[in-house]
Structure 1
Amino acid sequence: MQFLHILQLLVLMTLANGTPIVAKKILGPRFSFPLDAGTVFFDGRPLFGPSKTIRGILISVLITTASASLIGLDLTIGAIVAGAAMAGDLFSSFLKRRLNYPPSSQALGLDQIPESLFPMLACRDALSLTIADIALGVGIFFIGALILSRFLFRAHLRDEPY
């Protein structure tokens, strides 16, 4: 098991997924532009929805990439984690729109698994992660995200407790 790499990835995945939330609270609507620019998919629903912004993606990639070297990983790993976490988040949003979930609504598992599984898989070869390492990382992230989300809600950083 690669416990150190799993912990490092958990830190980066938390940053990647958390910085857009913090940026929203700090910046409000400033510099917020929907990534899908209001595009509607052929099913008549938004592609991703208004809560997925260019600002969120950019700040996630910048902060996560810059933070990688602070925890002993190459900047490239930080960029990969951020990009893959955001891809997982967009994948979740896309599926939630297809399933007719409103923006920012909760979908247990769908909200946590892709945004942790995608980065773990993307870093698998570079960090010599096994399937067990990936499963452990996703499991810890899943539980941690549920706990951290409630904390962020109580700290008035999240609008919803999930």
Structure 2
Amino acid sequence: MLILELLVLLLAAHGSPVLGRVLLGHRGNKPVDGGRIWRDGERLLGDSKTWRGLIVGVAATALCSALMGMGALFGALFGALGLLGDLISSFIKRRRHMRSSARATGLDQLPEAFLPVLFGAFWIGYGWVVVVVTVVSFMIANIVLSPLLYRLGIRRQPH
């Protein structure tokens, strides 16, 4: 049950920004990096990492966590770490001269799942088996479900 709850929180953190874009349109879509360019000539993060996504992702994760009895603070921190992992992935992809939203299997899923689930292990006190099973399950679900969400018009990219 705990692994399923953690997967729901990961889904809230990473799925709600996509839904936020659909529901809010262009409102709040200012890029987190402010359009800044890194010393390699590439954007720091890219246009797809927005303040709207961060706010919606953290709020949705806090709400889900509170509803599941894990506490809003835990959920907010869990969501923030998941989205930080996503920002780290984007930063690394830009340094590798990959376009925004380019596919990088593993890099696209691992930091955004591992950071919050590891945090949860310390906050809640579950073991490494839960961490590994949750992260691997999230990675598989992300790889399998993303093309479906693209076909349904929810995601902009099939990965």
TM bucket normalised to smaller: over 0.9
Q: Name the stretch that deviates more: 23-32 or 88-97.
A: 23-32
Cα-Cα RMSD:
1.1
Aligned residues: 159
The answer for the alignment partner of 2:58 in structure 1 is: 61
SS of the residue corresponding to residue 43 of structure 2 reads coil
The answer for the alignment partner of 1:52 in structure 2 is: 49
TM-score of the pair, normalised by structure 1: 0.94
**Amino acid paired to 2:141:** G
**Greater than 3 Å deviation, 4+ residue runs:** none
Q: Which runs of 5+ in 2 are unaligned?
A: none
- 2:79 is the alignment partner of 1:74: no
**Amino acid paired to 1:75:** A
The answer for the alignment partner of 2:124 in structure 1 is: 127
Between the aligned partners of 1:84 and 1:126, the Cα distance in structure 2 is 13
Between the aligned partners of 1:143 and 1:23, the Cα distance in structure 2 is 23
Between the aligned partners of 2:103 and 2:114, the Cα distance in structure 1 is 18
CA deviation profile, 1:77-109 (whole Å, cap 9, x unmatched): 211110110000000000000001100111001
Q: CA deviation at 1:160?
A: 1.4
Contact 1:16 1:85 in 2 (8 A): yes
Instruction: Give the fraction of aligned pairs with identical amino acids, expressed as a percent.
Output: 36
Between the aligned partners of 1:67 and 1:151, the Cα distance in structure 2 is 23
TM-score of the pair, normalised by structure 2: 0.95
Q: CA deviation at 1:7?
A: 1.4
The answer for the alignment partner of 2:8 in structure 1 is: 11
Between the aligned partners of 1:15 and 1:148, the Cα distance in structure 2 is 14
SS of the residue corresponding to residue 28 of structure 2 reads coil
Q: Which runs of 5+ in 1 are unaligned?
A: none
Contact 1:9 1:81 in 2 (8 A): no
Instruction: Select 1:98's aligned residue among 95, 107, 110.
Output: 95
Contact 1:45 1:97 in 2 (8 A): yes
Structure 1 segment 100-119 matched on structure 2, within 5 A: 100-119=97-116
Contact 1:5 1:127 in 2 (8 A): no
Q: CA deviation at 1:123?
A: 1.1
Between the aligned partners of 2:40 and 2:70, the Cα distance in structure 1 is 42
CA deviation profile, 1:121-144 (whole Å, cap 9, x unmatched): 111112212122111110000001
Q: CA deviation at 1:148?
A: 1.9
SS of the residue corresponding to residue 123 of structure 2 reads coil
**Higher relative contact order at CA 8 Å, sep ≥6: structure 1 or structure 2?**
1
